[in-house]
Amino acid sequence: MLQSTTDTRRLYRQIAEQLRARIAAGDFPLGSRLPPERDLALQLGVSRPTVREAVIALEVEGLVEVRMGSGIYVIDTVAMPGAAASAAFGPLEIIRARQVVERELAAVVARSPRRGLAVAGLREAVAKMESDLASGVMPIAGDRQFHLCLAEACDNAALLRVVSELYDERENPLFERFGRLFEDVASWRKAVTEHRAVVDAVAEGDAVRARTAMHVHLELTHERFTAAWAEEPEARRQRAEAQPL
């Protein structure tokens, strides 16, 4: 059961603590595999993304290991949460917060008389992303440059601070682990294409399209982080074997 609604801990932390308690109680012994994400979500009465954030939190703490293509395995039964992991915002809530803020920034910049200068900076950032990808480097530096360029174009120090602090949450241990699991060259190439759509809309001064393009980019980013776990084929196989011929 979930904690009381008066509990101020983030939901994924509550779920992580419930799973930790079950591991400590022997429900999931050392070396065992946890149920699939879908089953855990049903058992705990929460969404699959919430379970995912909880599992990643436990992996950062050293209790479980996510083995892509196999599942989630218990590798320790007594690890305690570190301060950094406990204080971290969930990656998915960070993306949602950025979506609310940055889609409006894109619209504001598209209407700005300074958008020409902003577009030059945005195109430079996209070019850096493409260059890094071509060199086999994950283009986080160019991505950060892109999003901060939009904020700078608004000429509002408070907004720039909000955008930079939200973006730099990528360095928290949960977000960093999400990135290693779900970001690769293919996903970043998709992101570059999405960035270009934002640039085109801003360059044309189309605020509605700029807002939509940024919303879509961060929505797709969220979807990439909530794509099916690699153990799902195994779960499907088990369900198929359970069906009568």
> What residue ranges do the domains of the chain occupy?
11-81, 91-225
In terms of Cα–Cα distance, which of 1, 176, 157, 205 is closest to 89? Answer: 176
Query: What confidence tens digit (pLDDT) does each residue in 28-63 have?
Result: 999 999 999 899 999 999 998 899 999 999 999 889
- Quick one: pLDDT at residue 180? 87
- The answer to which of 18-27, 63-72, 167-176 has the lowest mean pLDDT is 63-72
Q: Which helix (H) or strand (E) holds 108?
A: helix 91-111
What integer pLDDT is reported at residue 86 of this predicted model?
A: 56
Residue 105 vs residue 10, higher pLDDT: 105
The fold of 91-225 is: Four Helix Bundle (Hemerythrin (Met), subunit A) (1.20.120)
**Can you give the pLDDT at residue 7?**
45
In the chain, the percentage of residues whose pLDDT exceeds 70 is: 85
Q: Is 203 exposed, middle or buried (0-12, 13-18, 19+ CB in 10 A)?
A: middle
- Dist CA 36 CA 39 (whole Å): 5
Domain 11-81 matching CATH 1.10.10.10: the answer reads yes
Q: Residue written as tokens 């950060």?
A: 144
The gap between the terminal CA atoms of the chain, to the nearest Å, is: 37
pLDDT digits (tens, 9 = 90+) for 106-153: 999 999 988 999 999 999 999 999 999 999 999 999 999 999 999 999
Average pLDDT over residues 185-194: 96
SS3 at position 65? strand
- Mean pLDDT of the chain, nearest integer: 87
Neighbours of 8 (CB within 10 A): 7
Answer for the pair 46, 15: CB distance below 8 angstroms, yes or no: yes
- Residue 183 tokens read as 């970001």
Pairwise CA distance, residues 71 & 245, whole Å: 27
